[in-house]
Chains A and B, each alone.
Chain A
Amino acid sequence: MAERSFAKEVQSLRLNAGAEFEGEGILAVTKALLQSGVGYVGGYQGAPISHLMDVLADASVILGELGVRFESSASEATAAAMLAASVNYPIRGAVTWKSTVGTNVASDALSNLASAGVLGGALIVLGEDYGEGASIMQERTHAFAMKSQMWLLDPRPNLPAIVQAVEQGFELSEASNTPVMLMLRIRACHVVGQFRAKDNRRPPFTLQQAMNNPSRSFERIILPPSTYAQERAKIEQRWPAAVRFIKERKLNEFLGANDGCDVGIVLQGGLYNTVLRALERLGLADVFGESKIPLYVLNVTYPLVPDEFTGFAQGKKAILIIEEGQPEFIEQAASLFLRQADIQTRIVGKGPLPMAGEYTGAVMLAGLRKFLAEFGRLPAAEVPLLPAAMLARNVPMRPSGLCTGCPERPLFASMKLLAREMGPMQVSADIGCHSFSTLPPFDLAGTIMGYGLGAAAGASFNVPNPRRALSMMGDGGFWHNGLTSGIGNAVFNRHDGVTIIVDNGYSAATGGQYIPSSSAEIKGRRARNRIETAVRGVGVEWVRTVRTYDMKQTMGVLREALLTKFTGPKIVIAEGECQLNRQRRVAPAIKKLIGDGERVVRERFGIDSEVCTGDHSCIRLSGCPSLTVKTNPDPLRRDPVAYVDNSCVGCGVCGEVAHAAVLCPSFYRADVIVNPTAWDRIKARLRAAVISLLA
């Protein structure tokens, strides 16, 4: 069950021609796919397109009605390979993932797809996670487009433009026999707006038709000599066809004043709104996008159209190229186009604008002001646009952390305690919620090498040594590739280390999507595939399963894994259901029970503030959001006391930590019995009577 349900919103996917569609960017993309007659869709979740996968899953009935095959792929590589259906058949297919990480994973299939070429339109919708708030390293998808000769769309970030880009993307793909990538920046995925809907279209050629009339062509197989021909086709046919299509269909836009202004701005479509707002603040555009400076908007950032560039630059003193990220591919290409055409217009880009980092409103404003002042469109004087900001000192950082009651917290606390006992450990982390083990208060692992690659990242640490290395992996990463890249590899290479597989039942970090080992009954899919069975299946002999909330057991098993005489991979499956998902399931049920007058015991932890001395060891071992501090009620004491707030879900970790760490006796657990039985009440009254005598 995903974190966010789109059950209500997906109804708007049924809108017919002329109706006004209102909603989020990702929902608009889905509608555009249906309007384009897509035949199959796949993908892998990850911000910012996790919700696109959730929308598609929630829309499975609607997709089914239209005869569209949807699947939640095992990885981005799976999703990319799915596009093989468009190689030999005139079927439109779309896949989606987070970029650049997902594009890295998908690259093998993408290279082969791009080489073979496609008959049906193949569209890859990428959530470009770049800039402020990105959760991955800062890289550009652009490079993938260049190396594989795939086309890259970067439309203006409004719903009509995004919808149009989906539709044109399929056409461009078919016109040039090339897969097309459509990148959406993080905010565009979630932008809320409206567009005029069209009717949905059933795929004109179905997967059934393909299966019943198989077709193949030797030219599309990526084996020599076809590969040589394919490379030539890319250059001699597909690329020119794409450029022709982009020009003829006017995919790129020339906007703004056309009155012989001697400067101009070239921009990636995705940056349009930010550029326009900066121009508006500089008094060079109005709120409706009427710019006094000519604009060349690249809704297609690869391939570029040389004569559009030369035409735009002709007669201008200078053009500013606004290209987010590095290296400056577009600027380099534009320089080449102008040089070859012997046009002397100055090309300005990185310089007024920074090479690295997101082009936020403030960065854009400063860059444009610099460029326009240099070329005489703005007064040269530095007029500060912002009143000098007064900074609040000491605003503490607020990094992401594990949720209240998270089952991974006791695991990391156990590891931290074990490190105290056995000395510091070499730990390789992985991608997922468990990445937070690298942050305070745990500060455990030293590297994160990629999704599912935690165990692989520990592969070198396999030399005779009394102290073993540890690695971690989540259940999501395990099924994504960790089973083979990590576990299978460890078996084959007789790795003597310990791998912890965190089994919380979902792809939790991306929003709680189901994975093969989820314990739910999911319509149309087969879950409940046990991790232990898979691990044993690839040859692991030493496997233990622990319940993370039982810290004594967890520490015992980890200790055993680190010390046992057994040589070979040791796998510890650390189980505990993602608390967010659990609460979503359990909380309404409990509320109902209470409402029905049933006896319910609600557990909660608390701290006696008189007993707490304000050292916060408990917090340093747990970091639970509900375990916080408050001003010490004791006037002699100054240090704030620990305190459990009302978000506590009674997971029990506080008590476990207090015991395992021999912390302090200030913790108590309160069992609140709601709707007590008569016997409960009698017992309580009796006890209270005796206790009041003793007190």
Chain B
Amino acid sequence: MRRLRPITLTIAALGGQGGGVVTDWLVMTARRAGYFVQATSVPGVAQRTGATIYYLEFFARGDAPAGREPVMALMPNPGDVDIVVASEWMEAGRAINRGLVTKDRTTLVASTHRDYTISEKMALGEGRASSRELFEIASATAAKLVGFDMLKTAEAADGRISAVILGGIAGAGVLPFGIEDYHHAIKESGVGVEASLRAFEAGRLAAAAAALTPLTAAAWPDNRGAIDASDYTLAALSAPLRARITGGFPVQLHELLGMAAARLSDYQDATYAGVFLDRMERIHRIDGAKPGDFALSAAAARALGLWMSFEDVMRVAQLKTRRGRLMRIRREVRAQPGDLVQIREFVKPRVEEICGTLPAGLGRRLLASARAHRALARLTAGRRISTSTISGFAMLRTLAALRRFRRGSLRFRIENQRIEAWLGQIAEVAPDDYGLAVELAECQTLVKGYGDTHERGWSSFSQISALAPALLGHPDSAALLRTLREAALADDGGVQLERAISALRSRAPAAA
């Protein structure tokens, strides 16, 4: 005789996604289909935006002797869950970690989209967990994995994710309920029925398709997500510059050099891009002396391209007055065809930024004068410039046009000196310690942002590059430098970096 057991289902959702609504729909669906149903939750009342769990059990009325009812569990039991529904990709991971997904019985219906957690978002650089790694674990752990992007499906159907989740459950084909039972439940609930039915169908079809064509790791090409196509390409570059690259550098570097040079042509002019290539030739000459894959050139090209296009007032003005920006923003804010969109920019240059834009001599004098500093400080109140008005746009456009005088500006002088010093250090270190030179090149990533952020980054960079000479020749020099760089990105108070530096001093006294 068949052992009678309930069908068990867990929904792992985020507060605000409507997990409770899905649960209500499932209860109504099951009742209509002739099932006993029990549903429980640890509700999100005090659990805003946190992870929440819903749990349901179903048992066919026909399987129960007259007057008997099944005793149903109030929470999911590891090893005893038939269907786990995760409305977000990392929540699938959490369900796996709780032991709810098991190879013998569990169908995992999961949305592949990410809703990043605060710890992932807060990181000073890349802090996101690996979606691809989770995919590999999920496909190895679940009896069957039905994965699709529930958020995108909901947006395309102009409905809510809750209805797509329900559709996903129906489409996965594990529950013994008819489509009309689900439809009936949605209609019964009475709110936004049209949109919910639409989103339910979209979810159902997406899940059915996903059940037929399983996900592959290819969905996460770089382990994280696809990047958009860029305007800065080798092909977009002027012919002479392109010729310099293709003629003077190994083929592995062409794309990268092209991207950086195109960026700098746009940032300043072709001559400036030429300076970039001059500098890269210098690096490549040392790199060429070493066998291998030109790791140093690649790292330096990327870093130098970014550093040479440092973000000053002119650059920001240039980017904010780009053609096509309005269209992109309209798409981003979901403006409908008849809607008008007005844009306001939030800019707040500090005295340092204003002086940085001025000719070097003047800028330096003003920065040094307390009176001038006070006078300029009055200009630094937070500004909201509307780039949708003629005056606002004209102002930013004028600032952008000032970039033809950039080479004379104080900021340019400062950055140029820093770049030269950094390249000099790389060139000096590379012949003796190639790995350390690559790591030094990578350190550019610390110098980014605006205002205080930029200063903090520069301070970390300076501390680390000052330690580099002492590491030279140390067997782990590259790894040690990388540790420092990672420490600098661990918090924005410099605590971890300080700790890492003193740890290094005790390990490698030469660094003291």
**Contact call A389/B96, Cβ cutoff below 8 A:** yes
Report the minimal beta-carbon distance from A565 to chain B, rounded to whole angstroms: 26
**How far does the alpha carbon of A151 sit from the alpha carbon of B72 in the complex, in Å?**
27
B394 located at the interface, meaning its Cβ lies under 8 Å from any Cβ of chain A in the complex: yes
For A665, what are the chain B residues with a Cβ–Cβ distance below 8 Å? 316, 320, 345-348, 450
**Contact call A674/B129, Cβ cutoff below 8 A:** no
**Contact call B140/A615, Cβ cutoff below 8 A:** no
For B348, what are the chain A residues with a Cβ–Cβ distance below 8 Å? 658-659, 662-663, 665
- Which of A77-85, A286-294, A312-320, A555-563 forms part of the interface with chain B? A286-294
**Contact call B452/A281, Cβ cutoff below 8 A:** no
A187 located at the interface, meaning its Cβ lies under 8 Å from any Cβ of chain B in the complex: yes
Report the minimal beta-carbon distance from A455 to chain B, rounded to whole angstroms: 22
**How far does the alpha carbon of A629 sit from the alpha carbon of B125 in the complex, in Å?**
10
For B96, what are the chain A residues with a Cβ–Cβ distance below 8 Å? 389-392, 395
For A164, what are the chain B residues with a Cβ–Cβ distance below 8 Å? none
Report the minimal beta-carbon distance from B442 to chain A, rounded to whole angstroms: 10
- What is the 8 Å Cβ interface bit string for chain B, positions 16-49, against chain A (1 contact, 0 not)? 1000000100010001000001111111011111
- What is the 8 Å Cβ interface bit string for chain A, positions 503-526, against chain B (1 contact, 0 not)? 000000111000000000000000
**Contact call B311/A611, Cβ cutoff below 8 A:** yes
**How far does the alpha carbon of A274 sit from the alpha carbon of B93 in the complex, in Å?**
25
Report the minimal beta-carbon distance from A205 to chain B, rounded to whole angstroms: 36
Report the minimal beta-carbon distance from A404 to chain B, rounded to whole angstroms: 8
**Contact call B128/A640, Cβ cutoff below 8 A:** yes
For B72, what are the chain A residues with a Cβ–Cβ distance below 8 Å? 273, 277
Among A3, A193, A625, A670, the most chain B Cβ lie within 10 Å of the Cβ of: A670
**Contact call A691/B390, Cβ cutoff below 8 A:** yes
For A676, what are the chain B residues with a Cβ–Cβ distance below 8 Å? 338-340
Q: With A633-B227, A636-B260, A695-B397 in contact, is A611–B316 under 8 Å at CB?
A: yes
For B16, what are the chain A residues with a Cβ–Cβ distance below 8 Å? 403, 625
- Which of A55-63, A325-333, A680-688 forms part of the interface with chain B? A680-688
For A619, what are the chain B residues with a Cβ–Cβ distance below 8 Å? 118, 121-122
A67 located at the interface, meaning its Cβ lies under 8 Å from any Cβ of chain B in the complex: no
Among A398, A638, A660, the most chain B Cβ lie within 10 Å of the Cβ of: A398
- Quick one: which of A356-410 are within 8 Å of B by CB? 360-362, 365, 385-387, 389-403
**Contact call A288/B320, Cβ cutoff below 8 A:** no
**How far does the alpha carbon of A274 sit from the alpha carbon of B27 in the complex, in Å?**
21
Report the minimal beta-carbon distance from B492 to chain A, rounded to whole angstroms: 7
**How far does the alpha carbon of A580 sit from the alpha carbon of B134 in the complex, in Å?**
33
Q: With A286-B4, A636-B259, A664-B450 in contact, is A193–B38 under 8 Å at CB?
A: yes
Report the minimal beta-carbon distance from A251 to chain B, rounded to whole angstroms: 19
Report the minimal beta-carbon distance from A659 to chain B, rounded to whole angstroms: 3
A628 located at the interface, meaning its Cβ lies under 8 Å from any Cβ of chain B in the complex: yes
**Contact call B230/A633, Cβ cutoff below 8 A:** yes
**Contact call B227/A632, Cβ cutoff below 8 A:** yes
| Cross-interface CB contact of B78 among A286, A389, A509, A627, cutoff 8 Å | A389
- Chain B: CB-nearest residue to A512: B45
- Quick one: which of B82-116 are within 8 Å of A by CB? 90-91, 93-94, 96-97, 99, 102-104, 115-116
Report the minimal beta-carbon distance from B148 to chain A, rounded to whole angstroms: 19
**How far does the alpha carbon of A662 sit from the alpha carbon of B50 in the complex, in Å?**
30
**Contact call A440/B122, Cβ cutoff below 8 A:** yes
A694 located at the interface, meaning its Cβ lies under 8 Å from any Cβ of chain B in the complex: yes
- Quick one: which of B448-482 are within 8 Å of A by CB? 448-453, 457
For A670, what are the chain B residues with a Cβ–Cβ distance below 8 Å? 329, 332-333, 335, 341-344
- Chain A: CB-nearest residue to B76: A361
* Total number of B residues with any Cβ neighbor in A under 8 Å: 130
- Chain A: CB-nearest residue to B447: A613
* Total number of A residues with any Cβ neighbor in B under 8 Å: 118
**Contact call A387/B102, Cβ cutoff below 8 A:** yes
| Cross-interface CB contact of B74 among A22, A191, A440, A681, cutoff 8 Å | A191
A598 located at the interface, meaning its Cβ lies under 8 Å from any Cβ of chain B in the complex: no
**Contact call A672/B79, Cβ cutoff below 8 A:** no
Report the minimal beta-carbon distance from B236 to chain A, rounded to whole angstroms: 13
Interface of A is mostly: loop
For B130, what are the chain A residues with a Cβ–Cβ distance below 8 Å? 394
For A190, what are the chain B residues with a Cβ–Cβ distance below 8 Å? 39-43
Report the minimal beta-carbon distance from B87 to chain A, rounded to whole angstroms: 12
**Contact call B492/A620, Cβ cutoff below 8 A:** yes
B59 located at the interface, meaning its Cβ lies under 8 Å from any Cβ of chain A in the complex: yes
For A360, what are the chain B residues with a Cβ–Cβ distance below 8 Å? 75, 77
B137 located at the interface, meaning its Cβ lies under 8 Å from any Cβ of chain A in the complex: yes
For A132, what are the chain B residues with a Cβ–Cβ distance below 8 Å? 42, 75
Report the minimal beta-carbon distance from B227 to chain A, rounded to whole angstroms: 5
B382 located at the interface, meaning its Cβ lies under 8 Å from any Cβ of chain A in the complex: yes
**How far does the alpha carbon of A690 sit from the alpha carbon of B387 in the complex, in Å?**
12
Report the minimal beta-carbon distance from A189 to chain B, rounded to whole angstroms: 8
- Which of A479-487, A537-545, A602-610 forms part of the interface with chain B? A602-610
**How far does the alpha carbon of A440 sit from the alpha carbon of B122 in the complex, in Å?**
9
A13 located at the interface, meaning its Cβ lies under 8 Å from any Cβ of chain B in the complex: no
B302 located at the interface, meaning its Cβ lies under 8 Å from any Cβ of chain A in the complex: yes
Among A133, A185, A402, A509, the most chain B Cβ lie within 10 Å of the Cβ of: A133
- Chain B: CB-nearest residue to A191: B40
**Contact call B453/A399, Cβ cutoff below 8 A:** no
| Cross-interface CB contact of B227 among A511, A635, A695, cutoff 8 Å | A635
**Contact call A646/B334, Cβ cutoff below 8 A:** yes
B393 located at the interface, meaning its Cβ lies under 8 Å from any Cβ of chain A in the complex: yes
**Contact call B340/A395, Cβ cutoff below 8 A:** no
**Contact call A611/B319, Cβ cutoff below 8 A:** yes
For A16, what are the chain B residues with a Cβ–Cβ distance below 8 Å? none
**How far does the alpha carbon of A633 sit from the alpha carbon of B345 in the complex, in Å?**
21
- Quick one: which of B146-194 are within 8 Å of A by CB? 155
- Chain B: CB-nearest residue to A692: B323
**Contact call A3/B350, Cβ cutoff below 8 A:** no
A671 located at the interface, meaning its Cβ lies under 8 Å from any Cβ of chain B in the complex: yes
Report the minimal beta-carbon distance from A438 to chain B, rounded to whole angstroms: 13
**How far does the alpha carbon of A78 sit from the alpha carbon of B121 in the complex, in Å?**
44
Among A610, A655, A661, A664, the most chain B Cβ lie within 10 Å of the Cβ of: A664
**Contact call B448/A615, Cβ cutoff below 8 A:** yes
B305 located at the interface, meaning its Cβ lies under 8 Å from any Cβ of chain A in the complex: yes
For B40, what are the chain A residues with a Cβ–Cβ distance below 8 Å? 187-188, 190-192
B133 located at the interface, meaning its Cβ lies under 8 Å from any Cβ of chain A in the complex: yes
Q: With A190-B41, A619-B122, A667-B346 in contact, is A392–B134 under 8 Å at CB?
A: yes
B417 located at the interface, meaning its Cβ lies under 8 Å from any Cβ of chain A in the complex: no
**How far does the alpha carbon of A3 sit from the alpha carbon of B46 in the complex, in Å?**
11
For B334, what are the chain A residues with a Cβ–Cβ distance below 8 Å? 646, 672
Q: With A646-B334, A665-B348 in contact, is A396–B117 under 8 Å at CB?
A: yes
For B155, what are the chain A residues with a Cβ–Cβ distance below 8 Å? 646
B119 located at the interface, meaning its Cβ lies under 8 Å from any Cβ of chain A in the complex: yes
| Cross-interface CB contact of B48 among A193, A278, A402, A673, cutoff 8 Å | A402
**Contact call A47/B126, Cβ cutoff below 8 A:** no
For A281, what are the chain B residues with a Cβ–Cβ distance below 8 Å? 77, 80
B5 located at the interface, meaning its Cβ lies under 8 Å from any Cβ of chain A in the complex: yes
A276 located at the interface, meaning its Cβ lies under 8 Å from any Cβ of chain B in the complex: yes
A252 located at the interface, meaning its Cβ lies under 8 Å from any Cβ of chain B in the complex: no
Q: With A273-B71, A636-B302, A695-B321 in contact, is A389–B346 under 8 Å at CB?
A: no
B297 located at the interface, meaning its Cβ lies under 8 Å from any Cβ of chain A in the complex: no
**How far does the alpha carbon of A659 sit from the alpha carbon of B38 in the complex, in Å?**
51
**Contact call B74/A157, Cβ cutoff below 8 A:** yes
The 19 listed contacts between A and B (C-beta, < 8 Å) are A280-B5, A289-B70, A362-B77, A387-B102, A394-B133, A398-B49, A441-B118, A611-B316, A613-B453, A617-B453, A633-B227, A662-B450, A663-B451, A664-B450, A667-B346, A671-B342, A687-B393, A694-B393, A694-B397
Contact surface of A with B, Cβ cutoff 8 Å: 3, 22, 47-48, 50-51, 132-133, 135, 157-158, 185-188, 190-193, 272-274, 276-278, 280-281, 286-289, 360-362, 365, 385-387, 389-403, 433, 436, 439-441, 509-511, 604, 606, 608, 610-611, 613-617, 619-620, 623, 625, 627-640, 646, 654-655, 658-665, 667-676, 680-681, 684, 687, 690-691, 694-695
Closest 8 CB pairs of A and B: A361-B77, A659-B382, A133-B42, A392-B93, A400-B50, A613-B448, A395-B93, A633-B228
